[in-house]
């Protein structure tokens, strides 16, 4: 038999096979995919491409932070001393725990445990809100001390560190010259920009979690189609990774 005939016979077989398969394919399989596996791999690939654009976005902020820290090192050290390591550590633990509950949610969806999934998503939701609550406490302290960049920004803590006893007794910072002290405003600009963008991602995530809890209660993700839960999990873990770096860069590396 000539090659092209063999080929067309094979193609016909394949078509018949896929036709039979399509007669009983699950309702969530889109018609332009061969199989549910292909559909899952494709959406997974697309989600990662989105996350890589997010890496570049946050990467720009991290790079700006590192450059300015290198240029105005004393100001960035003094600015960093205003942050509470205890709150930062607590929030890191909260977020890691929420990543764990999210991962457990994905497992519940994969193994078709509806109640487990609702519980895992609800815990993730609550831990996400805890994180934002702690962030609010931290932001409020910055607002009270006039450390929010803008017209009301105060250099008091940096040109006269002894006037800020809580921070002074821990770090004993020397007063900064006025021109260097002014660059602490740049530290706080980047602090609010980076933690703010991170918090915005958390708020969006918590919103989607609310929607997912509602859908999960109806059993939407525990009938075999787990793509949405899985890809949301990727997003949530990504936000966790950003925080792991923010915690190290903003809170930890300038303590001496």
Q: What is the DSSP string of 152-190?
A: T---HHHHSGGGSHHHHHHH-PPPPPHHHHHTHHHHHHH
Closest CA relative to residue 85, chosen from 144, 148, 132, 134: 134
By CB under 8 A, residue 52 contacts other proteins = yes
By CB under 8 A, residue 67 contacts other proteins = yes
Q: Are 47 and 234 in contact (CB under 8 A)?
A: yes
Residue among 6, 96, 200, 223 that touches other proteins (CB under 8 A): 96
> Applying CB under 8 A, which part among 42-50, 145-153, 184-192, 194-202 lies near other proteins?
42-50
Residue among 19, 56, 151, 169 that touches other proteins (CB under 8 A): 56
146 Rama sector, left if φ>0, alpha if ψ -120 to 50, beta otherwise: left
Residue among 25, 29, 61, 62 that touches other proteins (CB under 8 A): 62
Binding residues for other proteins, rule CB under 8 A, total 55
Residue among 59, 133, 207, 219 that touches other proteins (CB under 8 A): 59
Reduce the DSSP state of residue 196 to 3 states and report it.
helix
> Applying CB under 8 A, which part among 1-9, 156-164, 182-190, 240-248 lies near other proteins?
240-248
Q: Toward other proteins, which CB reaches closer, 38 or 136?
A: 38
Could you count the other beta carbons within 10 Å of the beta carbon of residue 218?
A: 10
Q: To 5 degrees, how large is the angle CA 98–CA 100–CA 105?
A: 95
Q: Are 96 and 240 in contact (CB under 8 A)?
A: yes
The backbone torsions φ and ψ at residue 100, rounded to the nearest 5 degrees and listed phi first, read -65, -45
> Applying CB under 8 A, which part among 23-31, 139-147, 200-208, 244-252 lies near other proteins?
244-252
By CB under 8 A, residue 7 contacts other proteins = no
- 239, burial (CB in 10 Å: exposed 0-12, middle 13-18, buried 19+): buried
By CB under 8 A, residue 156 contacts other proteins = no
By CB under 8 A, residue 191 contacts other proteins = no
Closest CA relative to residue 94, chosen from 196, 194, 197, 202: 202
Q: Are 160 and 175 in contact (CB under 8 A)?
A: yes
By CB under 8 A, residue 9 contacts other proteins = no
By CB under 8 A, residue 233 contacts other proteins = yes
By CB under 8 A, residue 55 contacts other proteins = yes
Contact set with other proteins (CB under 8 A): 14, 17-18, 34-35, 37-38, 40-42, 44-45, 48-49, 52, 55-56, 59, 62-63, 66-67, 70, 85, 89, 92-93, 96-97, 99-100, 102-104, 106-107, 110-111, 230, 233-234, 237-238, 240-241, 244-245, 247-249, 251-253, 255-256
């Amino acid at each position: 038999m000539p090659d092209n005939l063999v080929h067309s016979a094979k193609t016909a077989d394949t078509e018949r096979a896929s036709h039979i398969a399509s007669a009983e394919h699950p309702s969530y399989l889109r018609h332009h995919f061969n199989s549910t596996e292909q559909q899952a791999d494709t959406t997974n690939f697309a989600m990662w491409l989105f996350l890589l654009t997010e890496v570049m976005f946050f990467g720009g902020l991290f790079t700006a932070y590192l450059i300015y820290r290198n240029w105005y090192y004393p100001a960035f050290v003094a600015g960093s001393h205003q942050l509470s390591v205890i709150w930062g550590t607590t929030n890191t633990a909260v977020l890691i725990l929420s990543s764990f509950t999210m991962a457990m949610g994905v497992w519940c969806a994969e193994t078709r445990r509806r109640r487990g999934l609702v519980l895992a998503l609800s815990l993730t939701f609550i831990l996400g809100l805890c994180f934002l609550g702690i962030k609010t406490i931290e932001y409020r302290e910055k607002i009270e001390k006039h450390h929010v960049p803008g017209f009301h920004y105060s250099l008091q803590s940096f040109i006269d560190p002894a006037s800020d006893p809580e921070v002074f007794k821990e770090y004993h910072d020397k007063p900064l010259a006025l021109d260097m002290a002014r660059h602490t405003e740049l530290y706080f600009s980047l602090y609010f920009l980076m933690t703010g963008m991170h918090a915005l991602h958390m708020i969006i995530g918590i919103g989607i979690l609310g929607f997912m809890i509602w859908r999960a209660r109806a059993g939407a993700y525990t009938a075999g189609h787990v793509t949405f839960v899985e890809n949301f999990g990727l997003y949530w873990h990504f936000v966790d990774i950003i925080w792991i770096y923010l915690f190290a860069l903003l809170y930890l590396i300038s303590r001496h």
